[in-house]
Structure 1
Amino acid sequence: MTDAAQPRDSLARENEPRIDAEEILEGILDWVEVETPTYHGDAVNKLADKVQAVWSEVGCTVERIPGRDGFGDHVLVRSPDWKEGEPSILVLSHMDTVHPFGTKDETNPIRREGDRVFGPGIYDMKAGAYLPYYAWRHLKRLGRAHGMQVSFLYVSEEEVGSPTSREIIEREALKAKYVLVTEPARDGGKVVAARKGVGRFELTITGRPAHAGAKHEDGRSAARELAHHILEIEGYTDYARGITTNVGLVSAGTGVNVVPRDARAEIDLRVVTAADGEEMTARILNRVARDPDVTVTATGGMNRPPYERSPAIDALLEQARALAARSGLDLQATALTGGGSDGNFTAALGIPTLDGLGADGEGAHTLHEQIYLSSLAPRAGMWVELLAGLK
């Protein structure tokens, strides 16, 4: 390798501070130790306290946005040079996890096994949330914290669709030139440049109860009616178009010897384009009862718009690839992922958005969730170059 082709770190001055994977891991584990189930706002706020403290220590301004509806606070950090109306980067992270209390002590204890480090929420996404902080602090150590101004937003309820933070996310995104999302890397370190949109719906069926033995003929079964709709809605799945419909939660009846009066189902929809979202939403909501004596009500809509790839996103990806190469990282992107993120909101606004910039690992939302220690220094190096070099 010639000097010109060597990563930036190999050309650094001998006395220059280096990125330290063990130091990064120590900070990540401090955050993982705080369990943050989404619906426990007080628990999420304990992590918000830590986020607020570390950013305040490096000279950034921190705004604590009070939570509501039982959710935790959101934390908005701005670099010291931040000015309204100037080009900026918005970095999006979330503090909540899907895991219940006790996971870190019982079903997925925090532990290190070779290159693998386990713990609830470590991959999705406390490692990713910590990496830009470490990178910013490292830039200050190097005297290079003078790139484009940056806002770092940590939200408290992403795992349930960001119901209270979406307005804040979109408001801040409209101030930014680029949005970078710290969701975990995919498929061996790849970033995300497109995501499916997510829709959520509920069907409510009301029939007529009757004794299942003595007066069965007088009943109108809500469960039977629901079964027809489940088969129809599941039949909308079209893998060629990237559309999936999943009836994930179903309930009906009060007893085995009663014709069920009530039934309900919850439906998950995933689509690639906004047009597909509009089409499928209309089809799911347009319910016609088979039995004229039964009432069918459908509610819901798109929870997250599709994050569609665009020329502007491609341009951001190419810029990010060139910057990441300075730290020795060959940055590649997945074609598409089915999971949604807060990046869906910002991409739908037309703001160039790059996602999946967190740590590499596996097992999001599982009891073997883990990160790869070997990914931390390269990903931190990537963040250093992005924060210092995006134009």
Structure 2
Amino acid sequence: MNKTETYKQYLEQIENQSFQFLYELVNINSQTKNAHGVNVVGKKCIDLFALLGFTAQIFPSKIDPTYGDYVFLTHQGKSKENIALVSHLDTVYSEQEEKSNNFFLREEGERLYGPGVCDIKGGTIVIFMVLKTLKEKNPQLFEKYTWNVFLNAREEEGTDEFAERAMEFVNNETKAVLVYEAGGEEVNGSNIVTARKGVARFYMETIGRQAHSGTDHHRGANALLELAHNIVKIEQETCYKKGLTFNIGEAQGGIAINRVPDHAYCYIDIRTKTQQDFDYAVDFIHKFAGKGIVKSRSGDFKCQTIIRQMPSYPCWPENPSSDKLANIFVKAGQDLGQQIHPKPRAGASDGSFFWQIAPTVDGLGPIGANDHCSIHKPEEGKEQEYIIKSSLCERALLNIIAIEKWLQQ
């Protein structure tokens, strides 16, 4: 029996156990702001990887301790050379959303549905399956290298704090950074990720002056109108040719129909392909700060805009080192009869922080779809997040073969 068949058979042996671990993680609500749920998932991951001899370092947030803890797991090897495997503990779904949409674990044929099963708890289980198989079936390679597993507690909202912690582990001895967001199914195979857009996010607030909409309308300065002017200007900057998009994802203002609103706000999401466009977009939004254009009809008050930049993800452009690593996954796929297609992806991930330090590839988790979707109304074309069950072993095997090829170059 060759080595690939040995790995395949072992993965099949641990498949049921791995699914049980996945069920446990998915059944815990770990929406980003649910610190207790995030920490319960973190503790279960610590216990899971302890089975492989990993030790844990837990880092509470220094910026906002109301969030869950970051978890960093390490298995020290004989060499300082190391491999980083990246996942996260949080999901986007609140407990209320799960209940109102009846979004819980369910199986339909080859699909397993559930909150976070695709983004990214299935990826965490793939990491476990990869490392467990290497430990048992290729102990010489497993013991040679140091393995680090990074589990972000705030990936869905974004945080610079996680990357700063991770940089304590990623260095010039890091052979690769592997990120386990889900892979995407394609007609003739599946994909992995070699580049991602940069993401900048802002909170924009407009301040006006309230007034009675009848007797004192002339004294009011409409903050909602000021915000509307800003939103139109912002949305007009979208340029698909450049891959530059501005999206107002949430906006609100005013509290009563018969009052001129003195307060309004929105959240802005920006995606860019290049650092040059990223810098331009950030500067563009900051220019809205200060006095606005809407003023009271009486002329003695003018609205103003306040800008607060939120955590962002830097651009991860296509680059030679990521492409070289991705090509190893393509070759590993060919050996296994899998067609693997490296490509950029627009969504954000923690891989954006590492590509300049070490070769980085993303999308290495199970094959899945409908990330961040909780509504099950197939008659309306709406379906919940899921993974393809057979892809758990399939992607684990792909990772094992690719990691071996990469380290044996």
What is the distance in 1 between the residues matched to 2:402 and 2:7? 20
SS at match of 1:205: strand
The CA deviation at 1:155 is 1.7
Asked if the contact 2:11–2:393 (Cα under 8 Å) also holds between the matched residues in 1, the reply is no
* Cα pair distance change 1:386/1:151, threshold 3 Å: farther
CA distance in 1, matches of 2:205, 2:223: 9
Structure 1 letter corresponding to 2:19: L
Aligned pairs for 1:315-330 within 5 A: 315-330=324-339
- Deviations 1:324-348, CA, capped at 9 Å, x for gaps: 43444332112x222101111112x
| Residue in 2 that maps onto 1:352 | 359
Structure 2 equivalent of residue 194 of structure 1: 195
For 1:29 and 1:388, how far apart are their aligned partners in 2? 29
Structure 1 gap segments, 5+ residues each: none
Distance in 2 (alpha carbons) for counterparts of 1:17 and 1:254:
61
Query: Structure 1 residue 135 and structure 2 residue 127: aligned?
Result: no
What is the aligned counterpart of 1:340 among 337, 345, 348?
Answer: 348
Partner residue of 1:369 out of 357, 366, 385 = 385
Counterpart of 1:312 (choices 298, 303, 321) is 321
Residue by residue over 1:113-166, the C-alpha shift from the partner in whole angstroms, topping out at 9 and shown as x without a partner, is: 110011111000101111111111112221345154321111211111035322
Change (3 A) 1:342 1:289: same
Q: CA deviation at 1:100?
A: 1.6
Deviations along 1:58-90, whole A, 9 cap, x unmatched?
A: 22333233345212222222223165xx32211
The worse-fitting range, judged by mean Cα deviation, of 170-179 and 362-371 is: 170-179
Which residue does the alignment assign to 2:90?
Answer: 96
Contact 1:245/1:268, CA 8 A, preserved across alignment? yes
Between 121-130 and 20-29, report the one with greater CA deviation: 20-29
Looking at structure 1, the residues matched to 95 and 259 of structure 2 have their Cα atoms a distance apart, in angstroms, of 38
Determine the C-alpha separation between the residues in 2 that align with 1:102 and 1:248: 20
Inter-partner Cα distance in structure 1 for 2:170 and 2:7: 37
Kindly tell me: are residues 228 and 355 of structure 1, through their superposed partners in 2, closer, same or farther at Cα, counting changes over 3 Å? same
Question: C-alpha displacement at 1:358, in angstroms?
Answer: 0.5
C-alpha distance in structure 1 between counterparts of 2:370 and 2:237, whole Å:
29
One-letter amino acid of the counterpart of residue 392, structure 2:
L
Helix, strand or coil for the counterpart of 1:52? helix
Q: Deviations over 1:147-186 (max 9, x none)?
A: 5432111121111103532211233233523110001112
Match of 2:150 among 125, 128, 153: 153
Query: 2:117 aligned with 1:125, yes or no?
Result: no
Deviation at 1:44, TM superposition (A): 1.4
Partner residue of 1:256?
Answer: 257
Kindly provide the amino acid, as one letter, of the partner of residue 215 in structure 1: D
Shift of 1:52: 1.1
Q: Give the corresponding residue for 1:73.
A: 69
Paired residue for 2:28, among 34, 42, 57? 34
Q: Confirm whether residue 25 of structure 1 aligns to residue 33 of structure 2.
A: no
Compare the two structures and name the one with the higher strand fraction. 2
Match of 2:380 in 1: none
1:187 CA displacement = 4.0
In structure 1, which of residues 175, 178, 184 is the aligned counterpart of residue 176 of structure 2? 178
- Of 46-55 and 273-282, more deviation after overlay is shown by 46-55
CA distance in 2, matches of 1:124, 1:262: 35
The answer to whether the 8 Å contact 1:145/1:388 transfers is: no
Whole-angstrom CA distance in 2 between matches of 1:139 and 1:295: 59
Aligned residue pairs: how many? 380
Q: Counterpart in 1 of 2:52? A: 58
Contact (CA 8 Å) 1:8, 1:326: kept in 2 or not?
no
5+ long unaligned stretches in structure 2: 296-301, 375-383
Cα offset, 1:299, TM superposition: 2.7
Distance 2:78 2:115 in 1: 34
Query: How many angstroms apart in 2 are the aligned matches of 1:370 and 1:26?
Result: 16
Determine if contact 1:316/1:354 at 8 Å carries over to the other structure.
Answer: yes
Q: Secondary structure at the match of 2:12?
A: coil
Q: Distance in 2 between matches of 1:356 and 1:199?
A: 21
